[in-house]
Amino acid sequence: MIRMSVFYPTGTSAQFDHSYYTGEHRKLVQTRLGDFGLKAIDMEKGVSDPTGGPPSYVACGHLTFTSLQDFQTGWAKHGNEIVADVPNFTNIQPVVQISEVI
């Protein structure tokens, strides 16, 4: 299985609409990638670092796919539309990683 992780770093001018992210953006991702091996969507809201300070990330999203090929096919078709929705909920430049679940 493959996981696409999207991290939204904390910053002094960071703005993030968690309601839109977990509602509208989640629906868009599910609708567009559901037929391309998308198995799970996990969304997290940063709470703190281990010492109780600010979290490293305002939010994180994790999309699990059956295979790299399925992800790449779906992303090639719908990735631009999904990325174009990001400014609707944040001004943060996300950090993205594709990983193999082991």
Give pLDDT tens digits for 2-33.
999 999 999 999 999 999 999 999 999 999 99
Give pLDDT tens digits for 22-62.
999 999 999 999 999 999 999 999 999 999 999 999 999 99
Q: 25-34: which pairs have CB atoms within 8 A and are 24 or more residues apart?
A: 25/85, 25/86, 25/88, 25/89, 28/81, 28/82, 28/85, 29/63, 29/82, 32/74, 32/77, 32/78, 32/81, 32/82, 33/63, 33/65, 33/74, 33/75, 33/78, 33/82
The architecture (CATH level 2) of 2-100 comes to 2-Layer Sandwich (3.30)
Give the rounded percent of residues in the chain with a pLDDT score beyond 70: 100
Residue ranges covered by each domain of the chain: 2-100
Give pLDDT tens digits for 70-80.
999 999 999 99
